[in-house]
Amino acid sequence: MDNFVMYLIVMVYFLALAFLGYLGYKKTNDSKDFLIGGGEMNPIVMALSYGATFISASAIVGFGGVAATFGMGIQWLMFLNMFVGVVVAFIIFGRPTRRLGVKLKSSTFAQFLGSFYNSDKIRVFVAAVIFIFMPLYAAAVLRGGVFCMQEVFGIDFDLALLVFTIIVASYVIAGGMKGVMYTDALQAVIMFVCMAFILFGVYKALGMGFSEANQALEAMKDKVPEKLAAVGHQGWTAMPRWGSQQWYTLVTSFIMGVGIGCLAQPQLVVRFLTVSSTKKLNQGVVVGCVFLLVTVGVIYHVGALSNLYFFQNDGKISVAMVEATDKIIPYFIDRVMPSWFVTIFMLCILSASMSTLSAQFHTMAAAAGADIYGVFAGNDEAKRNKTTLMIRLGVLVSILISFIICFVLGEKSDSPIIAISTSLFMGICASSFLPAYFCALYWKKVTKQGAYASMWVGVVVTILLLLFIHAKEATALGVCKSLFGTDVLITDGMMRFIDPIMFAFPLSCITIVVVSLMTKNKAVDAK
Amino acid sequence: MFGISDPGIWLVYLLSILCVAGSIVFGIKYWNKEDDKDNQD
């Protein structure tokens, strides 16, 4: 594609974002507008925003690469994204959350839990966990977007980081939740159209239909490298061998970890508070499901099929063509799709990064400005009037922290802290927030002591398991090695490959039940 | 099914299709239906 046309497309995209950010700014008058879009957002915009926030660049490029390596088993993640992340989340969690949120006058996730349990301690704890652990996770997403911007404009890392941060910061600070959701909706449409094109392009390149391509890929199972076969790989159209290392990684980390972790992500939960009725959440279910099927489902499917394409054309499988998992999808798109589409695909990745990042910045800002400052301000009217300003300042601070982390890590650093922070945040959301959140909606005997104890258990157990048991993070961090002279404390069996969420989440659930029953005479404390 | 012999894989494709079909039916059925619980509080 001509460079001029490419720059023109990207500029039009940025102008559209600026316009939508401005639209959000014009419609934002108070802190309720800034935090939950006044609670009057369009259901289709809400569902698209939910989907776009859900799907980051790493879901497309990273997990697409995982599909190319592990095969179609990763489609269980797509199914859980749809079934748990949309159907269960909207119907089982979203509807009571919205009703209770209105009753409790909540505008953030921390405020929701804090108000329900009638505890500022819980509100500050949730906000602090978000504000401490989310910047690292946001830095990971920011880095993905910056790499994409480098590819499009051919500029250096520091400049791309600065430009990318300023663009996202301006529409989050100015437009608040409305600006974030309007831009998310545009980005979701770009992602959806792009993935539909990719599906069409890949089948055209393969020259065969759905079942025929699957059969051809299945016939390639003897091409699985010995190294992968030894850890359980049985072909790209088969699940890994039951109980193998690869099975545990795929099922506990990728499928259960991310699949369950999504239910208590503060940046997703808060979207339920942005619509005015249950009817609008019901309307969002269909939009969310179709969006996830097309975006995530397509990229995982074509990720696995990339092996067939490369084998047909180069005589090699994907991991032999491109060693780095994260680079398989961009390389595959470059090979299969027309040259003009590569810019569009980059725009899609940029959209995925921006939509996730803007929601993260907004959530961190809400935690700092509305929750921590809100508790500090108490009933002081003068201080309360400054809430919107403090939230905007919170956006600035959270952006600055993520920017500094990303800048310090730099372009060439392959620091494991990014991957670790993502696992940590997902794990903590599921283990620390989910039991207290679910019980707030459905268990009348829950007490604030039970909720508070389960939150601490979730955080502490997740951190301990990441430091001393789960091989991927424990080895990278080296704390266990320096204290005990070994990478992980338990080396026998598959324990070191099982995601921390599988232990921390049940322990947190047991804690909330046991402590709540022990303190049942104080149940009146929870509303 | 779908050219795939492992039930662990074709099942997930089948469930995904059913999930989307179910969400469409749910969406159509409740598109304009108010929830009584919304007015209770």
pLDDT in tens, A46-66: 999 988 888 888 778 888 888
Are A215 and B20 in contact (CB < 8 Å)?
no
Of the listed ranges A224-238, A370-384, A508-522, the one predicted with least confidence: A370-384
If asked whether residues A426 and A406 sit together in one domain, one would say: no
Taking alpha carbons only, the member of A420, A482, A499, A497 closest to residue A261 is A499
Nearest C-alpha of chain A: how many angstroms from B4?
A: 6
CATH number at residue A390: 1.20.1730.10
CB contact under 8 A, A73 and B8: yes
Could you tell me if A140 and A96 lie in one domain?
yes
- What whole-number distance in Å separates Cα of residue A288 and Cα of residue A44? 9
Res A11: pLDDT = 87
Whole-number pLDDT of residue A524: 47
Q: What is the pLDDT of residue A277?
A: 86
A401 and A427 assigned to the same domain: no
Model pLDDT for residues A343-401, shown as the tens digit of each residue: 888 889 888 888 888 888 889 888 888 888 888 777 777 776 777 788 888 888 888 88
Domain count, chain A: 2
* Residues A53 and A142 grouped into a single domain: yes
- Domain limit, last residue, from A411, A436, A461: A411
Q: Regarding predicted confidence, which is higher, A257 or A20?
A: A20
pLDDT band at A194 (very low <50, low <70, confident <90, very high): very high
Mean pLDDT over B6-25 rounds to: 93
pLDDT given at position A294: 93
Same domain, A431 and A286: no
- Which residues in chain B are contacts of A238 at CB distance < 8 A? 5-6, 8-9
Query: Could B12 and A79 be called an inter-chain contact, meaning their C-beta atoms sit closer than 8 Å?
Result: yes
What percentage of chain A exceeds 90 in pLDDT? 33
Amino acid sitting at position A162: L
One domain for residues A37 and A156: yes
* Last residue of one domain, picked from the residues A378, A411, A444: A411
Element (DSSP H or E) covering residue A445: none
Q: How confident is the model at residue B12 (pLDDT cuts 50, 70, 90)?
A: very high
The encoded tokens of residue A85 equal 């992340």
Average pLDDT, whole number, for chain B?
86
Number of neighbours of residue A196 by Cβ within 10 angstroms = 13
Closest C-alpha to A360, from A180, A163, A506, A226: A180
pLDDT band at A213 (very low <50, low <70, confident <90, very high): very high
pLDDT confidence tier of residue B39, bands split at 50, 70 and 90? low
| Section A171-198 average pLDDT | 91
With 80 as the cut, is the pLDDT of residue A447 above it? yes
Taking residues A254-271, what's their average pLDDT? 82
pLDDT at B41: 54
Would the pLDDT of A28 be above 80? yes
Do residues A316 and A458 share a domain?
no
C-alpha neighbours within 13 Å on the C-beta side of residue B7: 0
pLDDT for position A523: 46
In chain A, % of residues over pLDDT 70: 94
Contact flag B41-A102 (C-beta cutoff 8 Å): yes
**Mean pLDDT value of segment A504-510:** 94
Range of the domain at A99: 3-8+17-411
Mean pLDDT of chain A: 86
- On the question of pLDDT at A1 being above 70, the answer is no
A384 shares its domain with A433: no
B-chain residues within 8 Å CB-CB of A213?
A: 3
Q: A211 and A131 in one domain?
A: yes
Taking an 8 Å cut-off on Cβ atoms, the answer to whether B4 and A72 are in contact is yes
Please identify, among A411, A437, A464, the residue that sits at the C-terminal boundary of a domain. A411
CA within 13 Å, CB half, A515: 20
Contact check, Cβ <8 Å, B26/A279: no
pLDDT at A6: 79
A328 versus A149: which is more confidently predicted? A328
pLDDT digits (tens, 9 = 90+) for A63-114: 888 899 889 998 998 998 899 989 999 999 999 999 999 899 888 999 999 9
Q: Residues in chain B whose beta carbon is closer than 8 A to a beta carbon of chain A?
A: 2-6, 8-9, 12-13, 15-16, 19-20, 22-24, 26-28, 30-35, 37-38, 41
pLDDT tens string A312-330: 999 999 988 887 777 888 8
pLDDT in tens, A469-486: 888 778 877 888 888 888
Same domain, A67 and A136: yes
C-beta of residue A322 within 8 angstroms of C-beta of residue A328: yes
Q: Are the beta carbons of A64 and A298 closer than 8 angstroms?
A: no
What mean pLDDT do residues A505-526 have? 81
Q: Which residues, other chains included, contact A2 with Cβ-Cβ below 8 Å and sequence gap of 6+?
A: none
Same domain, A88 and A48: yes
Determine the distance in angstroms separating the CA of A73 from the nearest CA of chain B, rounded to an integer.
6
Among the partner-chain residues B2, B27, B33, the one whose CB lies closest to the CB of A211 is: B2
- CB neighbourhood size of A230 (10 A): 12
Chain position carrying tokens 């002081």: A380
A489 φ/ψ angles, rounded to the nearest 5 degrees: -75, -30
pLDDT at residue A211, as a whole number = 92
List the alpha helices (DSSP H) in A293-386: 298-314, 318-321, 328-336, 339-365, 373-377, 381-384
- What distance in Å separates residue A394's CA from the closest CA in chain B? 33
Tokens of A44: 């289709």
| Whether residues A118 and A244 fall in one domain | yes
**Residue A171 pLDDT greater than 70, yes or no:** yes
